[in-house]
Structure 1
């Protein structure tokens, strides 16, 4: 387990609220319920339509922050820009990282690793390694 005793939190940022929620549910399910790993979906724009919302991302990161760090995975370009801006402005909890990983496979790897007690470095590495998953 991480140094704080709490698991690493995971935030999934998508342009679509249903997509973010579905990927969160998939990751939790494939991690055997995720063993208490806090996972939050931050999907959709401020009006509930497609897009990204800095407010939703910041709220989700605060919700999952237990002191062990927060891994943030995103789906598309403007979500990256939103998270980078929040990090630069200090609007996310200390120890929050934008993880360069495929959204679905990376989310599953991140949650499984956090559930196994991996620290933020291990969670980030596992999610990033998902780029190498071959499908044929």
Structure 2
């Protein structure tokens, strides 16, 4: 569980598309149910609205999502992952306790937000998101 005096784990969704990041965040909020939700912030596209990833937008989203208990970052495609990895290596742009989570983007986002909203710690949020790889559809 989150430490006393700290808020919930935040979730950041990094996509090459602003619309995709915003839509997945909206879907996760809708499926997470009632009650108080953990923060989930989209970070999609470039500052000028194009396709791509932006360390500036990712850093801003992570700061908005950060409540002191860590930030779980999910990314959609290869270069989004590489951008987040580079930011984590620099150790300056992202809040302390930010973690890139290996998870499917949509299912992982929902699992992460539900788990974070229940008050789980960053390790449990990351595990729930990663576990979404095992969801069978047939």
- Please report how far the alpha carbon of residue 34 of structure 1 lies from its aligned counterpart in structure 2 after TM superposition: 6.3
Equivalent residue runs for 1:7-86 within 5 Å: 7-33=8-34, 35-86=36-87
Which residue does the alignment assign to 2:2? 2
The one-character-per-residue Cα deviations of 1:103-129 (angstroms, maximum 9, x if unpaired) are: 000000000000111110000000000
Question: Gaps spanning 5+ residues in structure 1: where?
Answer: none
Point out 4+ residue stretches in structure 1 off by more than 6 angstroms: none
1:94 corresponds to which residue? Answer: 96
Q: Which 5+ residue runs of structure 2 have no aligned equivalent?
A: none
Q: Contact (CA 8 Å) 1:15, 1:52: kept in 2 or not? A: yes
- The answer (yes or no) to whether the contact 1:99–1:127 under 8 Å persists in 2 is yes
| TM-score in terms of structure 2 length | 0.95
CA contact (8 A) 1:34 1:112 kept: no
Report the count of equivalent residues.
136
CA, structure 1 residues 42+33, in 2 after alignment: closer, same or farther (shift >3 Å)? farther
